[in-house]
Structures are given as C-alpha cells and as structure tokens.
C-alpha cells in the first residue's frame, strides 16, 4: 500500500511533463520561425535606414530630429501609404464581395446540374495556377499597343468591334479594378468549394418543410439556407479578408505598384528590397500584422463555434 501511494505523485508528475515533451518540437519551431522573427521585426521598426537606434541620432541645426516612431509616422501618413491603404480597402470591398457572392452562386447552381463535378473543377482550376503565372496571363489579356495590331485580348475585341484600345493598367481606379478581377478569377473557386461543402450539410427535410409551407425558392434560400451556412460564410469572408490584406503577387507582376495601384504588401517589399530601408519595411509589416490579427481571431472563434455545433 505504501509503495502504491508513492507511485501516485510520480504518475501525476509524469502526466504533467509528458504532454510538454510531445509539444516541444512544435514549440521550438514556433519560437524559431514565428516568435523570434516577429519580435525582431518589431525591434527593426524603430531603427533608421542605417540600422541605428534613434537614441544615437544627433539633431542637425535647422532639421528635425529622427524620432523613435518615425517609421510608423511614414507608414501611417506618407502619400504613397495612404494610396496603398485606399487600394487595399478597394480590394477588400470589391474582391471579397465578388468572390463570396460568385462562389455562393456557383455552388448553389452547380448543385442542381448533372455535371456538377466538371463545372466545379473548371471554376476551381485557376487555383492550380500560381499567382505569378496568373498575373502574366492577365497582363497579356490587358495589353495595350499604340500600333494597328492589338495582342491584348480585350483591346483586340474592342478594336474588332470598332472601338478604341484602352490602357487598362495605367488609369486609376480602372487599373485597380482590373487587378481585382484577376484576384476574383483565382479565388472564386476556393469560395465555391468551401460553400458547396457547407450547402451539402443543409438538412433537406427543413428545405422540404419550407416548400410545403408555401415558401418560394428565394425565401427558402434566404431564410433557411443562408442562416444554416452562416458560420461557414463568415469563415470564408474573414479568410478572404486576410488573403486580400496580404495581396502582393498580382500587383507586383502586373504593375509593380505603379500608376496608383500600390498595396501594403507590395510597398513593404519595395521598402525592403528596392530602397533597403528595413526600418520602414518592418513598421509596415507590424501594421499589417496588427490589422490581420483581429480578423484571424474572429475567424478562429467562428471556426470553433462551427466545429462545436457539429
């Protein structure tokens, strides 16, 4: 009896230690590749373009001192950053709404045709193309030429119909909208796939009961289907917001951020690798993370609620 009572504390101690041993590899990876780079980025955001701390700077007569929050002042008030914030807002409003609405529409309609799998595969196919490849493809589609022959698909159609070619990628906000079209083309398949899986889980007996009670197809869809898939719908919307906030490849390949198409992630890249100003790039990265974190928290909460309801 005495031996068995002595074994109890050791078993309890083992129960506390062993789970941490299983978690140790994941914790090491997380600290090495997430926590440490994040803290280092936050530290770099307070340094100037020479990599020196603000405390080491001396004021020159007639010139303002370089302050500790100078990089954040630039990230929040510079004209190019205001343009980037405005464009990201346009991306969020237009791309998120278009991808979710088109994804929901296609998922609903494809569920009623005999060749459902083929139709969904065609819509999802752009997701298999890299964003860089998609940017190159659509750059040819939007191509503008001053000569008589237009190699860009859109301008070739316009000129064939008697119209004049349009410089799709050099006029704001037209160019930003054209870039958003590329993003919609890529991401609609993702939204369709997630929402189609959610639509399959809508109880058919509830839908049939609504139809028996005299509800139209639109009323069934608006009052039964949408409330049922709402948790998934919110997860898809928040996921798309996160993706849009990080948009980079399409803008970098097609316009390089020129002609008023600058976005936050592209500006971060330019500050880091074109202007070699790690401080400004780090400040932009910190602001980007600060904007994304609340959306991620909402996404995780809704995902947990969705899992708990199953």
Distance CA 216, CA 223 (A): 10
Highest mean pLDDT: which range of 11-20, 152-161, 293-302? 152-161
Q: How many CB atoms lie within 10 A of CB 180?
A: 24
Summarised one tens digit per residue, pLDDT across range 233-284 is 988 998 899 999 999 999 999 999 999 999 999 999 999 998 888 889 999 9
| Banded model confidence at residue 232, pLDDT cuts 50, 70, 90 | confident
C-alpha count within 13 angstroms, C-beta hemisphere, residue 44:
20
**CA-angle at 141, arms to 138 and 145, nearest 5°:** 130
For residue 113, the model assigns a pLDDT of: 77
State percent of the chain over pLDDT 90. 38
For residue 54, the model assigns a pLDDT of: 60
| Banded model confidence at residue 11, pLDDT cuts 50, 70, 90 | low
**For the chain, the helix, strand and coil percentages under 3-state DSSP, each to the nearest 5:** 75, 0, 25
For residue 56, the model assigns a pLDDT of: 46
Least confident of 7-11, 120-124, 167-171: 7-11
Q: How many CB atoms lie within 10 A of CB 120?
A: 19
DSSP 162-210: T-----TTTSTTHHHHHHHHHHHHHHHHHHHHHHHHHHHTS-HHHHHHH
For residue 200, the model assigns a pLDDT of: 85
DSSP 58: -
DSSP 99: H
Alpha-carbon dihedral 51, 52, 54, 60, rounded to 10 degrees: -110
| Summary mean pLDDT of the chain | 85
Summarised one tens digit per residue, pLDDT across range 204-225 is 888 888 888 887 888 888 888 8
pLDDT of residue 16 exceeding 50, the answer is yes
Each domain of the chain, given as residue ranges in start order, spans 83-308
Distance CA 94, CA 23 (A): 41
Fold of 83-308: MetI-like fold (1.10.3720)
pTM of the full predicted structure?
0.84
For residue 68, the model assigns a pLDDT of: 75
């Amino acid at each position: 009896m005495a031996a068995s009572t002595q074994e109890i504390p050791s078993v309890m101690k083992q129960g506390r230690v062993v789970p941490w041993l299983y978690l140790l590899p994941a914790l090491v990876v997380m600290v090495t590749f997430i926590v440490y780079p994040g803290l280092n980025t936050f530290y770099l955001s307070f340094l100037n373009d020479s990599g020196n701390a603000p405390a080491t700077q001396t004021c020159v007569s007639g010139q303002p001192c370089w302050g500790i929050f100078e990089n954040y002042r630039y990230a929040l008030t510079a004209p190019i950053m205001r343009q980037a914030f405005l464009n990201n807002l346009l991306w969020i409003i237009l791309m998120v709404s278009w991808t979710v609405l088109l994804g929901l529409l296609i998922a609903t309609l494809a569920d009623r045709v005999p060749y459902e799998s083929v139709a969904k595969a065609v819509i999802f196919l752009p997701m298999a193309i890299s964003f860089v490849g998609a940017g190159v493809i659509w750059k040819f589609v939007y191509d503008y030429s001053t000569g008589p022959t237009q190699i860009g698909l859109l301008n070739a159609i316009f000129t064939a119909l008697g119209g004049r070619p349009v410089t799709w990628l050099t006029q704001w906000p037209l160019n930003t909208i054209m870039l958003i079209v590329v993003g919609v083309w890529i991401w609609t398949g993702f939204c369709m796939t997630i929402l189609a899986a959610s639509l399959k889980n809508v109880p058919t007996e509830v839908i049939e009961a609504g139809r028996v009670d005299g509800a139209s197809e639109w009323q069934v869809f608006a009052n039964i289907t949408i409330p049922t898939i709402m948790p998934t719908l919110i997860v898809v919307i928040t996921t798309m917001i996160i993706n849009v906030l990080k948009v980079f490849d399409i803008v970098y390949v097609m316009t390089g951020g020129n002609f008023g198409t600058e976005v936050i992630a592209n500006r971060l890249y330019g500050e880091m690798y074109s202007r070699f100003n790690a401080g400004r790039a780090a400040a932009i990265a910190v602001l980007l993370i600060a904007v994304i974190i609340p959306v991620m928290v909402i996404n995780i909460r809704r995902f947990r609620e969705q899992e708990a309801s199953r």
